[in-house]
Structure 1
């Protein structure tokens, strides 16, 4: 004890000087913010009646969303903060934004059925993202469990983009928009497997002809971006069901859950 009667072990200790301050990684989170801005921009343009720019905003958000995770892995800058930020950005850009664009463009013309379809899509996007976050450790990484939310958003806004290019008003195809929203939304929450392309090795060398094919593909997209991109995502949106039927016909497992169908332990997820 010192002269004031305070035990030595209770004396205040100087704060350590060598600790690093916690922070966030700039580059991947900037890409995530860019994806978030794409969704926000799309909503603003839809309110202003510029639906072709709305579609462009969503497709740009898809590009940035595909880059942020890859950049984080390449630069070893993954973080829990980045994962949560990515999920919130996806909910805005691929959940709320497409639903609002579809509603403003066509669905508001059919009354309560319109906002019901928009809400079903938005709710299914939230459910799909939540399930993805908790099932990451038990799902075969070669496949997505249900249609990924960026592809679902591409179906919805791609349809809007094509019809706008063809100068077809939303009121004329409101019920078709209704079914597109329901299909995209409900397919997100199915257990149908969709190929994830995560096992493609971009670092491997490829034949020269592959570069020629890619050049031709880019040229074809430039001929009619709306039609080509929408067509690509329609094919992808149907591919999961084709794969599901193929697996059943070949007596292969149709589930992509590799360990358990139960929700993993949630310790540390809620803070």
Structure 2
């Protein structure tokens, strides 16, 4: 059963991306952005869940990449085609479609990179980060200059395939007993997404707040494990201080 949990989260990522695309086609771009951020949450949890449960495998890695290209490559590109590049017709669709091509190459390069290296750092900006930024820009498209958007949009596309080193936080420990804290936040964001769609009221602000809360919980509870050497040094220092106090007495 536990082997299915990470894959279920990955499928949640993929399905959220699919719903985002469907909403864009139906003209509901604001709620489409909400579902891209829901996909981002699923993506943040599936890898960690796999490492905590000890069920990491190549199938999960490939599934994650397939879901990411849909949710953070294709979905944001379609958002851009129907907002910033809407007036360009088929040419706007072609231009926006270059973004997922860069993202696809970045994911392929990631999949052939040794795991020991990906645990330390990412090479190029992750497609999840790039797609999330694009979705956020679309959400604020009414107040964002098209020139500024193009600079950021194409800059992100280039950075995905660049050799820029981005720190990886995969080694941050995630205690099994504390993973339950993530479940309420998960349900909360899913609830926001569903209610946002039903009532046609984008709750993006609340989604961002929930993501920030998750980041705070993650930073507070999921701290890196200390090495045994550091612990041994502290024990030695403590014993040394006790011996000194005994000698003085």
TM-score past 0.5 threshold: yes
Q: How far, CA to CA, are the matches of 1:116 and 1:223 in structure 2?
A: 28
Larger Rg: 1
Q: Give 1 or 2: higher helix fraction.
A: 2
Equivalent of 2:56 in 67, 74, 78: 78
Q: Secondary structure at the match of 2:122?
A: strand
Give, in angstroms, the shift of residue 82 of structure 1: 1.6
Is residue 156 from structure 1 mapped to residue 128 from structure 2 by the alignment? no
Equivalent of 1:97 in 75, 89, 98: 75
Is residue 195 from structure 1 mapped to residue 164 from structure 2 by the alignment? no
Specify the alignment match of 1:13 in structure 2: none
Equivalent of 2:42 in 64, 86, 94: 64
1:25-40 correspondence to structure 2 within 5 Å = 25-40=3-18
Give, in angstroms, the shift of residue 196 of structure 1: 1.9
For each residue in 1:87-141, what CA deviation from the matched residue of structure 2 results, as whole angstroms up to 9, or x when unmatched? 1111111111111111112213235663343122111000000000011346352
1:120-135 correspondence to structure 2 within 5 Å = 120-135=98-113
Q: How far, CA to CA, are the matches of 1:72 and 1:140 in structure 2?
A: 16
How many residues are treated as equivalent by the alignment?
186
Equivalent of 1:50 in 13, 25, 28: 28
TM-score, length-scaled by structure 2: 0.65
Q: How far, CA to CA, are the matches of 1:179 and 1:110 in structure 2?
A: 18
TM-score, length-scaled by structure 1: 0.60
Q: Secondary structure at the match of 2:37?
A: helix
RMSD over aligned Cα atoms: 3.2
Equivalent of 1:186 in 145, 158, 183: 158
Structure 2: unaligned runs, 5 residues or longer: 176-202, 211-249
Q: How far, CA to CA, are the matches of 1:137 and 1:224 in structure 2?
A: 35
Is residue 141 from structure 1 mapped to residue 119 from structure 2 by the alignment? yes
Structure 1: unaligned runs, 5 residues or longer: 1-22, 204-221, 230-271
8 Å CA contact 1:124–1:185 kept in 2: the answer is: yes
Q: Secondary structure at the match of 2:166?
A: strand
Q: Secondary structure at the match of 2:163?
A: coil
Give, in angstroms, the shift of residue 188 of structure 1: 0.4
Q: How far, CA to CA, are the matches of 1:136 and 1:158 in structure 2?
A: 32
